Each structure stands twice: as structure tokens, then as C-alpha cells.
Amino acid sequence: MTEIREIGTVKDIDVENLKFRYHRSGNPAEEALMLKELMGDKKMSQRDVAKLLGVNQAHISRRLKLLTLSDALFQRVLKGEIKARTGYQLARLPAEKQAEFEGVKKVTMKASEAAVREFVLNEDVVNLIQEKESSPEKRLRAFVSQLSTEELLILRAILDEVEAEHSRQAYRSSTGR
């Protein structure tokens, strides 16, 4: 038997059919279109729709965020050419920044995250992040990873000598010698 409920001011919603169609979709962009239709036609809130579908309100909000994409990018998410996760990132950008991605053949999560980071953060913060990403430890690790086994053995011997010297200096400092 089909369950029909009243939610808010909406009557005669075939709940089971709606849940089936929504959860069967598997395409977040398609789900966003269904949600838009449901919320617009039935004048339901995100909370009401979430309760009806058995998901949380954040899930509904996230799906609806895809609708803020440019038409071209939304269509690519709908077709599966751009992953929904990448679409969520792109949706954080203003229309003029989104337009820069419309002609890009392969839009990656990494590229969309970089664009959002660049847009959201000011230049000083971006520079600070870039400096952190190229820390002395990372540069040293990159250098060491290129050394041969023989060079690594030499480096280990040098480090052992330096460590021994530091220990001697620490002992002298603590004994006053």
C-alpha cells in the first residue's frame, strides 16, 4: 500500500515513490533537480524535504548547491563529465570564475580546490600556505629521496658525527667545562 502523508501544507505526496525515485537516481545533479521541483512546486522547506526523504538537511543543502553552477558546468555534472564533489567546489566560485572552467576538458578536484583557495583567501594567506607546503623538511625530504644508497650511508655517518658533537657540547654546558 502506498503511503500518503501531509507535510506542512502539502497533501497527497506519494512518499514511497518519491523516496524510490530520489534514492535510485545516484546522480547528485539529477537529485538536485528533483529537490528543486519538490521544493518549488510543493513549497516545502529543506528540513521538510529531508525528513520526507530520510536524509539530513545538510545533504539537501549540498545537493541544491549544485544548482548554483553555471548551466554549462551543471550539465557536465549531470552527464557525469565532472564529479559532483568537484561541482560542489566550483559552486563556491562566482559565475565569472566558474566560466573559466567551462571550456576545460577535464576539470579535476585539485584544480577546483586551488581556484576556490585562490578566490577565498587573500594573496598573503596563499603565499603563507605555499611557503608551508614547501617547508625545509619537505625540501630536505625531496633532496634525500634523490640520493643513492652510497650517498645515504655517507650522510648517515655525517649525521652521527654531528649528533655526537652536540652531545659533547651539551655535556660541557651542563658541567660547566
Name the domain boundary from 26, 50, 67.
67
What per-residue confidence (pLDDT) applies to 65? 94
Q: Do 31 and 57 fall within a single domain?
A: yes
Q: Which range marks the domain in which residue 142 is found?
A: 136-175
| Cα separation, 13 vs 132, whole angstroms | 54
Collapsed DSSP state (helix, strand, coil) of residue 101: helix
| Cα separation, 131 vs 149, whole angstroms | 30
- Residue scoring higher pLDDT (93 or 15): 93
| Residue 123 scores a pLDDT above 80 | no
What per-residue confidence (pLDDT) applies to 43? 78
Task: Take residue 64 and report the three cell numbers written for it.
Answer: 541544491
What per-residue confidence (pLDDT) applies to 133? 67
Q: Do 78 and 98 fall within a single domain?
A: yes
Q: Do 14 and 29 fall within a single domain?
A: yes
Task: Take residue 81 and report the three cell numbers written for it.
Answer: 563529465
Average pLDDT, the chain: 81
Total tally of structural domains belonging to the chain: 3
pTM more than 0.75: no
The neighbouring-strand residues paired with 4 are 14
| Cα separation, 58 vs 39, whole angstroms | 15
What per-residue confidence (pLDDT) applies to 102? 92
Closest CA to 87 of 119, 96, 101: 101
From 90-94, 126-130, 155-159, the region with the lowest mean pLDDT: 126-130
Summarised one tens digit per residue, pLDDT across range 73-119 is 999 999 999 999 999 999 988 888 899 999 889 988 888 888 887 77
> What percentage of the chain carries pLDDT values higher than 70?
82
Provide mean pLDDT across the span 43-68: 89
Q: Do 109 and 123 fall within a single domain?
A: yes
What per-residue confidence (pLDDT) applies to 94? 86
